[in-house]
Structure 1
Amino acid sequence: MPRYIVDRIAIGRYQDEVQHPSAIKAFVAEFISTLIFVFAGQGSGMAFTKLTDGGSSTPAGLVAAALAHGFGLFVAVSVGANISGGHVNPAVTFGAFVGGNITLLRGVFYIIAQLLGSVVACLLLFFSTGGLTTAGFALSAELSIWNAFVFEIVMTFGLVYTVYATAVDPKKGDIGTIAPIAIGFIVGANILAGGAFTGASMNPAVAFGPAVVSWDWANHWVYWAGPLVGGAIAGLIYELLFIGRTHEPLPASEY
């Protein structure tokens, strides 16, 4: 890894990255944004299952999931962008970290906030629907676990690469204003491409909440390892090839 990338990666000071009022606001923003996103995405799947026989496994269910997640993520990123950067995803946070755009301490607390937001969203759905199950992610029968692992890597790579291109890149210019739309679109498109195979998580928090509430951990590691690897690769490639800067990392409010 080039030295300028290594030099940009930092642990951070606890007082600045965790205890500072702006950091606490950022953690709360990540919690709320993830709650909004997971509630909309999981809720749409539960509603479609209730209203139809085939549920989300049908073509119509897949389209509904893509739309709900795309719209939900657009809103979640938009409302958190000016406070925390609107990561809403541990893979995005990890990709930002390996590119030197967030410190380790702040990144860890972002991820904790995202996971808590997902769990609370699923608990709210469980209680408000009278005990309906929040469905966990599952692999298609014809897919091996390693196929699924690669699928999640590729889909998350596309997501985090889009985040870098539209939100992190200091040369983004006016395109930064449509970053939430672009990010929502790539998630919706990936769900259409991979939803029938892996569920198209691309986000460990999205998989974690339903797994906790339903207590179904089958192949759960795929939904962590795949997105984190894909996010890291996207962050490194974009930072090395297209940014290549040597100045200090961007503040959290700027990406």
Structure 2
Amino acid sequence: MVKLAFGTISDSFSQTSLKSYVSEFIATLLFVFAGVGSAIAFNKLESNGALNPAGLVAIAIAHAFALFVGVSIAANISGGHLNPAVTLGLAVGGNITILTGLFYWVAQCLGSIVACLLLKFVTNGLSIPAHGVASGMSALEGVVMEIVITFALVYTVYATAVDPKKGSIGVVAPIAIGFIVGANILAAGPFSGGSMNPARSFGPAVVSGDLSQIWIYWAGPLVGGALAGFIYGDIFIGSHSAIPKSDDYA
């Protein structure tokens, strides 16, 4: 069963929680700066770079490396979510309260927006690429694609970082998480953009002024993340108490 817990104001504004929000802001900022920056850089080198096979590989690798680092640098403070879909998936499994999770969302989205503003400034005003489904695809197809790949991401988070039975595999959690993101971008990039992360899509949409498809990148990842949290948390972890402590994820 779902293990959602609302939480309390005192817990969400404790010194530990405040440090977690700052950690999520910084880690998400650095992740989005590198991820979106890689797309801008390749587009500058070659027109339509994101549609070029080499560009797709470069962008996937940049996101994988940046997420590996982002999770690693934030894991000991906030758990290294960097993604509202991951936060929701962990809340569904009882690993973080709803109230604290909402503040994680705010920190993650602000980090993404600031990263894109910085990119806009340091690139002398180059356009910030916003996510959108490919020509010929419907919005529903884009949502389903994002559900599937985000499910894979959050399921990987649970298997490698949250599951109390993970044992020594926990040390490779950031690597596995980075790898699944890179692989999913290779698979989904030409179709939905391969976001898996509402914050990653939100910053570029806000800074570019193109919010026309942003709902796809909230709906799909949040559904996929919640499903992964429910399935792994309920079926494979099952009997743990609500809001447990984890060495890897808050």
TM-score where L is the length of structure 1 = 0.95
Give the equivalent residue in structure 1 for 2:227. Answer: 233
Deviation at 1:254, TM superposition (A): 3.8
For residues 209-244 of structure 1, the C-alpha deviation after alignment (integer angstroms, 9 at most, x for no partner) is 001100001221100000000000000000111101
For residues 152-185 of structure 1, the C-alpha deviation after alignment (integer angstroms, 9 at most, x for no partner) is 0000000000000000101111110000000000
CA distance in 2, matches of 1:215, 1:26: 29
Match of 1:23 among 17, 25, 31: 17
Give the equivalent residue in structure 2 for 1:181. Answer: 175
Match of 1:11 among 3, 6, 18: 6
For residues 1-24 of structure 1, the C-alpha deviation after alignment (integer angstroms, 9 at most, x for no partner) is x3xx3xx4211111112x211100
Name the amino acid aligned to 2:86.
V
* Corresponding pairs, count: 249
TM-score where L is the length of structure 2 = 0.97
Corresponding residue SS for 1:166: helix
1:143 partnered with 2:158 = no
Structure 1: gaps of 5 or more residues: none
Structure 2: gaps of 5 or more residues: none
**Larger deviation: 210-219 or 227-236?**
210-219
* CA RMSD between the two structures: 1.0
Deviation at 1:249, TM superposition (A): 1.9
For residues 56-110 of structure 1, the C-alpha deviation after alignment (integer angstroms, 9 at most, x for no partner) is 1111110011000000000000000000000000000000111111001110000
Deviation at 1:53, TM superposition (A): 2.4
The ranges of structure 1 where at least 4 consecutive aligned residues each deviate by more than 4 angstroms after the TM superposition are none
Give the equivalent residue in structure 1 for 2:119. Answer: 125
Does structure 1 conserve the Cα–Cα contact (< 8 Å) formed by 2:6 and 2:99? yes
CA distance in 2, matches of 1:190, 1:124: 26
Distance verdict in 2 for CA 1:196–1:216, change over 3 Å = same
Deviation at 1:252, TM superposition (A): 6.3
1:162 partnered with 2:159 = no
Match of 2:90 among 89, 96, 103: 96
